[in-house]
């Protein structure tokens, strides 16, 4: 039963990385691909329909941690106290920027909130990348099952580590580049006109950077966690993730060469999901690896809740999943297709009208 909930948790984190990762990447490129206020509103309109729904996967993942793996939830939340608050502030500022900017007519305030949107999105990509690097590297879990991570210590990757070191910073940088490529690919699919062309251009620059950085980060991961790639070779689920990653990269290349934007974006989603799935499959059964002593690590077995509670919760989880996916499908169908600059200008003109 714990294995089933581990798989569900990995799927929710993968869904969050694919959906909200596209939002983060789009926001990070916001000021680069959009050259006018109308084009910046075009970017926001491309992201707006599902940006809040994509965050549901993060809340759902947190709920599963609380329900199925309460020891992991309690240890991680208290140990990552500083990082959690940084994430929350960035999520709040990004949400405010998305909601407020369309209601402002003053160019100065529009520029301010556009900058907040871009900066918070880029910082969120870096923070989640650093968090991913922390999970891969491990955390300073003591024999009492507790930990605390300062922002940094000596930038080493053993012993009493901090949130930031050379490895987690490199994973954060790779995550930013990957999500920016993911965002550019999706933005090219969702927009038209000059914005579409610039997004395609950035995608062609960013994906080669992803291909270059991926082996570098992989070698670093092998050095930090020596048994990581040996686990991949032993687990069919990890093979599936590696296959998804390779198929995704091929689809991105083929889609960009043939101008098939939906194929390129589908491949981009596979790349992101494959990386998250491969990491989850390779780490199992460990969920929090201890850099002090591997014996202190928290696994899916010793961090799980009562078996009866897990079985009861598994009855209700599919109902929530169907409702959530049904809502997302409805919104996507109503707001699908490309966002055109002419429609965006009309929306801006309508919203700028004030009753006398």
What is the pLDDT, as a whole number, of residue 182?
Answer: 97
CA-CA distance, 113 to 27, in Å (whole number)? 12
> In sequence order, which ranges of 191-335 are alpha helices (DSSP H)?
194-224, 228-234, 236-258, 261-283, 307-335
Range 130-134, long-range pairs (CB < 8 A, 24+ positions): 130/83, 130/163, 130/164, 130/168, 130/169, 130/171, 130/172, 131/80, 131/83, 131/87, 132/171, 132/175, 132/279, 133/167, 133/168, 133/169, 133/170, 133/171, 133/172, 134/80, 134/163, 134/168
CB contact at 8 A, 169 and 130: yes
Q: Name which residue leads in pLDDT, 339 or 345.
A: 339
Question: Residue 48's pLDDT is what?
Answer: 78
Q: Can you give the pTM of this predicted structure?
A: 0.93
- Give tens-digit pLDDT for 75-84: 888 888 888 8
pLDDT at residue 237, as a whole number:
87
From the CB of residue 34, how many other CB atoms can be counted at a distance below 10 Å?
23
- DSSP for 198-232 reads HHHHHHHHHHHHHHHHHHHHHHHHHHHSTTHHHHH
**Which one is predicted more confidently, 49 or 219?**
219
| Domain ranges across the chain | 2-233+283-352
Provide the greatest CA pair distance for the chain: 71
Which pLDDT tens digit goes with each residue over 245-255? 999 999 999 99
* Overall size of the chain counted in residues: 356
- Flag whether pLDDT at 355 surpasses 60: no
3-state helix, strand and coil shares in percent for the chain, rounded to the nearest 5: 80, 5, 20
pLDDT of residue 130: 93
| 3-state per-residue secondary structure call for 16-27 | HHHHHHHHHHHH
């Amino acid at each position: 039963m714990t294995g089933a909930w581990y798989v569900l948790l990995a799927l929710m984190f993968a869904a969050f990385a694919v959906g909200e990762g596209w939002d983060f990447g789009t926001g990070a490129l916001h000021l680069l691909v959009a050259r006018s206020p109308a084009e910046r509103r075009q970017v926001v309109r491309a992201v707006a329909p599902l940006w809040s729904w994509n965050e549901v996967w993060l809340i759902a993942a947190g709920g599963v941690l609380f329900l199925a793996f309460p020891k992991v939830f309690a240890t991680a939340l208290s140990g990552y106290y500083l990082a959690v608050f940084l994430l929350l502030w960035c999520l709040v500022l990004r949400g405010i920027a998305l909601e407020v900017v369309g209601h402002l007519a003053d160019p100065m305030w529009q520029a301010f909130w556009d900058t907040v949107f871009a900066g918070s999105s880029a910082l969120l990509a870096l923070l989640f990348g650093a968090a991913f690097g922390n999970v891969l590297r491990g955390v300073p879990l003591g024999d009492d099952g507790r930990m605390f991570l300062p922002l940094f210590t000596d930038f080493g990757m053993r012993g009493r580590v901090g949130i930031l070191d050379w490895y987690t910073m490199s994973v954060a940088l790779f995550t930013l580049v990957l999500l920016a490529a993911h965002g550019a690919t999706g933005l090219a699919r969702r927009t038209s006109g000059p914005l579409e062309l610039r997004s395609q251009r950035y995608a062609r620059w960013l994906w080669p950077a992803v291909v270059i950085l991926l082996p570098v980060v992989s070698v670093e991961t092998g050095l930090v966690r020596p048994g990581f790639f040996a686990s991949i070779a032993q687990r069919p689920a990890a093979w599936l993730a590696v296959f998804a990653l390779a198929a995704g990269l091929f689809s991105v290349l083929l889609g960009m060469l043939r101008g098939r934007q939906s194929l390129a974006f589908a491949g981009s989603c596979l790349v992101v999901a494959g990386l998250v799935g491969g990491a989850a499959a390779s780490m199992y059964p460990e969920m929090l690896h201890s850099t002090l002593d591997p014996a202190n690590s928290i696994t899916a077995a010793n961090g799980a809740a009562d078996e009866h509670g897990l079985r009861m919760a598994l009855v209700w989880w599919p109902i929530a999943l169907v409702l959530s996916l049904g809502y997302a499908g409805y919104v996507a169908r109503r707001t699908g297709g490309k966002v055109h600059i002419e429609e965006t200008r009309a929306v801006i003109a309508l919203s700028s009208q004030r009753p006398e």
